[in-house]
Structure 1
């Protein structure tokens, strides 16, 4: 279900360095994405995207992540944990491969999903307010999908810098869980019972994902104008009346996430340590010395992880 893109680590980090340099040149004027978006005073012109009002959720589907919040989740007893460690050690299991499921399909899936998640008559999260109140995007299921795809792409840029055999696993696990969740939500929340309609929607979403990844990649490897154009077409639905300041705010948000990811080691990212930076926060560029301090702290953190299930070959230096 995933399209394989061959982008070298060197080109990726060169692009991230370009982002870093842009941030440094403007460090005296740094603003959070929310502050940037609020600078505008243009009148809002509502875009007419739908022939009829889009379906709204009538109930909640299971989140499909964060099992610790599930009262029916079974926790392992000490003897079962010890047995598991014994099995892993005896059969010399590749834990980086095994870990790709719970990390990419659990932690990072949850990060993608919750950014723009909303339910009628429930308060919006601060991040959801950024999309629906600050950027004035429509509250619809299809809009949520576009925002999920954007966050998937941000993560996939970093995933593609992992060793190849783990890179494709992390991407695949994340994509699989996203589409499993979309299917469940359309069935439960939107009450779509037609199998043909569900299949058609999923195919459309998959086509959108491939198109978005291609257009965002082009922007990442060329310039910010191209990336901003891709964000305008996909997130802002090609709205001719969109406030350019809003597009700029989202561009800065994306730049910030990529910059943070470029400073993470493979080991930290592979263990699910990344969280999206909220849009009300500013990402300050760090020096080489600060970057080395972060790497050293990462090494100290993982130094105490000696259980067989905590083994990893992922780098702590890059």
Structure 2
């Protein structure tokens, strides 16, 4: 199991995000060529735009089916509504229940964090609907990287972001890592089933089940290839991204693959600087591709670590209990 280094990050990943251009030093990665302090690297979206190669549209053989309606990002359940809060009585009763029965809140919390917050983070990165403005992240994939605007492409982007989160989840204590990963996978596939039925208008359960099996196979394959790449080198990583996200397109612009690789490395760097407890409480958000992750110093790490400890020391309610580390 991969174990991430000890460190943390303050309230959100924004601390590591800055202007579209900063000094960047990495070893054993695609960013090796920027070793000198005077060298700089662009944000992933800017990096991709530097290519001057002509765009060759990928032949998908068939015309992708587009959404005929729009489902909510999450569900219609009130619990997932923005700003939802329990009533005063429900809060008091819930805290008492947790205290009396000694509920393991880290397992309980995995549902709301991985199955809701992190699910939404994964889903919205490549989400788009016809005749609606795209988010900046969606523009990165469909306009800058020129990926096909299809449902299957959205799935591949979602699975990539699932894997990025799963790397950090697997660094949690085993029983919690398993819960977080399972909650996220279950929610992703339940959402895919609903979207195929409601948004794409597929009425055949047999077709939906067949597609879900295909997506599950793709998930297993992509996880294995990304895991291999993570412990290998950036050539292997670029190859895995090309096969999965770029659909093995022989006409792909290698500058685009490089940009996506820089984006993934940036997310992993931020996750590497988060403590178990911060991540377990849902504090991570993906850095947009038009921003650059700025490496931090040891003294900055120590400052953030202290702020995190002070914050969680104030969280004393039974429902806020956690055994997840604030040091790693």
**Taking structure 2 as the reference length, what is the TM-score of the superposition?**
0.89
Asked if the contact 1:265–1:317 (Cα under 8 Å) also holds between the matched residues in 2, the reply is yes
Aligned with residue 229 of structure 1, among 228, 235, 239: 239
Residue 277 to residue 199, structure 1, CA distance change in 2 (3 Å): same
Residue 20 to residue 295, structure 1, CA distance change in 2 (3 Å): farther
**Cα distance in 2 for residues equivalent to 1:25 and 1:249:** 18
| Aligned-pair CA distance for 1:288 | 1.3
**Cα distance in 2 for residues equivalent to 1:133 and 1:31:** 18
| Aligned-pair CA distance for 1:291 | 1.1
Aligned with residue 37 of structure 1, among 34, 48, 53: 48
| Aligned-pair CA distance for 1:63 | 2.5
| Aligned-pair CA distance for 1:20 | 11
Asked if the contact 1:66–1:106 (Cα under 8 Å) also holds between the matched residues in 2, the reply is no
Asked if the contact 2:30–2:234 (Cα under 8 Å) also holds between the matched residues in 1, the reply is no
Aligned with residue 63 of structure 1, among 54, 62, 73: 73
**Unaligned 5+ runs, structure 2:** 8-25
Aligned with residue 264 of structure 1, among 242, 264, 274: 274
Structure 1 residue aligned with 2:206: 196
Asked if the contact 1:67–1:73 (Cα under 8 Å) also holds between the matched residues in 2, the reply is no
Structure 1 residue aligned with 2:120: 110
1:193-249, CA deviations, whole angstroms, 9 ceiling, x for partnerless residues? 101101000000000000000000010000010000000011111111111100000
Asked if the contact 1:20–1:285 (Cα under 8 Å) also holds between the matched residues in 2, the reply is no
**Cα distance in 2 for residues equivalent to 1:52 and 1:240:** 18
| Aligned-pair CA distance for 1:77 | 1.2
2:257 paired with 1:247: yes
Superposition misfits of 4+ residues, deviation over 3 angstroms: 10-13, 16-24, 65-75
Asked if the contact 1:54–1:140 (Cα under 8 Å) also holds between the matched residues in 2, the reply is yes
**Cα distance in 1 for residues equivalent to 2:45 and 2:234:** 19
**Cα distance in 2 for residues equivalent to 1:202 and 1:166:** 26
**Cα distance in 1 for residues equivalent to 2:33 and 2:327:** 23
Which segment drifts farther, 223-232 or 69-78?
69-78
Secondary structure class of the residue paired with 1:208: helix
Structure 2 residue aligned with 1:4: none
**Cα distance in 2 for residues equivalent to 1:85 and 1:247:** 49
**Cα distance in 1 for residues equivalent to 2:260 and 2:212:** 26
Secondary structure class of the residue paired with 1:9: coil
Secondary structure class of the residue paired with 1:30: strand
Cα RMSD after superposing both structures: 2.4
Structure 2 residue aligned with 1:134: 144
**Unaligned 5+ runs, structure 1:** 1-6
| Aligned-pair CA distance for 1:64 | 2.6
| Aligned-pair CA distance for 1:75 | 4.5
Name the structure where helix makes up a greater proportion of residues: 1
